[in-house]
């Protein structure tokens, strides 16, 4: 019976945990995002101010409009799409923050499949 009470206590403590989200700290700045593509790590560098995000990936630069939904969520809309695939809006949601990074979830607007990533502030 004692084990039951201990497990209940641990469950209650764990269910009260809420990750830190200081999203304001990441609305602007220079960031790095690394992801596995195939079997290698690809790096994207992006600079974001309150309304524009400029990304550099594999020597190419893309600019998107940033529209904040709330303090932790925004929509990226490409300004000069080069193909049909580049036209999609991306919904970004900051899930958790640390002193110099944030974990985020993203998906194409209207799609159910979501991916996650980690961005690190560079300045």
User: What pLDDT is attached to residue 105?
Assistant: 96
Q: Which residues of the chain have pLDDT under 50?
A: 5, 7-8, 10
From residue 73, give the alpha-carbon distance in Å to each of 7, 52, 66: 35, 14, 10
**102 is in which domain, residue-wise?**
2-121
Q: What is the pLDDT of residue 19?
A: 67
Task: Give the pLDDT score at 28.
Answer: 95
Quick one: pLDDT at residue 84?
Answer: 82
What's the domain count of the chain? 1
- SS3 of 122, please? coil
Q: Give pLDDT, residue 8.
A: 44
The domain that contains 25 carries what CATH number? 2.40.128
pLDDT of residue 18: 59
| pLDDT tens for each residue of 66-99 | 999 999 999 999 998 888 877 899 999 999 999 9
């Amino acid at each position: 019976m004692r084990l039951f009470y201990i497990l209940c206590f641990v469950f209650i403590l764990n269910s009260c945990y809420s990750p830190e989200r200081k999203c304001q700290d990441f609305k602007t700045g220079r960031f790095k995002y690394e992801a596995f593509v195939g079997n290698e790590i690809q790096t994207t560098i992006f600079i974001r101010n309150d309304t524009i995000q400029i990304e550099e990936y594999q020597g190419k630069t893309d600019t998107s409009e940033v529209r904040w939904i709330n303090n932790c969520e925004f929509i990226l809309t490409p300004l000069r799409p080069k193909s049909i695939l580049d036209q999609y809006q991306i919904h970004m949601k900051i899930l958790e923050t640390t002193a110099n990074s944030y974990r985020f979830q993203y998906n194409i607007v209207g799609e159910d499949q979501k991916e996650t990533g980690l961005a690190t502030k560079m300045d």
